[in-house]
Amino acid sequence: MTDISTNAGVRADVWLWAARFFKTRSLAKQAIDAGKVELNGATCKPAKTVHVGDQLRITRGEERLACVVAGLAEKRGPAPEAQKLYQETEESIAERARMREDRRLTGGALLRPDARPDKRDRRLIQDLKKTL
């Protein structure tokens, strides 16, 4: 992975892709455009330059990450190298662990029936679907 000198910068969408927060650069750009990425407490644009020491807040679905940029790269490399590009804050790690435990205890907030529906229940479900 090619590191860039600390005084230079990298586009935000390129850095998010290289740090493996998003699978493609296009997905990183879409997330930035949707306002799911904050750079130093403010929304940013895909072409905004990211520097070492900048703080990022990234939202992916229910997951929210807060991290500090520790390195820069323009090319995507292996995951162990990508993890060296940022340092997640202690508060973010604790919050994600708490949210993971909440999801585990609530069963993902899905109410599952005790058994499969019988013939009568299936007919009621089909009738309900027809009325919708």
What's the predicted TM-score (pTM) here? 0.74
Return all residues near 91 (Cβ < 8 A) that are at least 6 apart: 66
Cα separation, 32 vs 115, whole angstroms: 43
Could you tell me if 129 and 121 are in contact, meaning their C-beta atoms sit under 8 angstroms apart? Answer: no
pLDDT tens digits, 12-51: 999 999 999 999 999 999 999 999 999 999 999 999 999 9
pLDDT tens digits, 96-126: 999 989 888 877 656 777 889 999 999 999 9
pLDDT at 18: 95
Buried residues in 110-130 as b, exposed as e (16+ CB within 10 A): eeeeeeeeeeeeeeeeeeeee
Cα separation, 79 vs 86, whole angstroms: 12
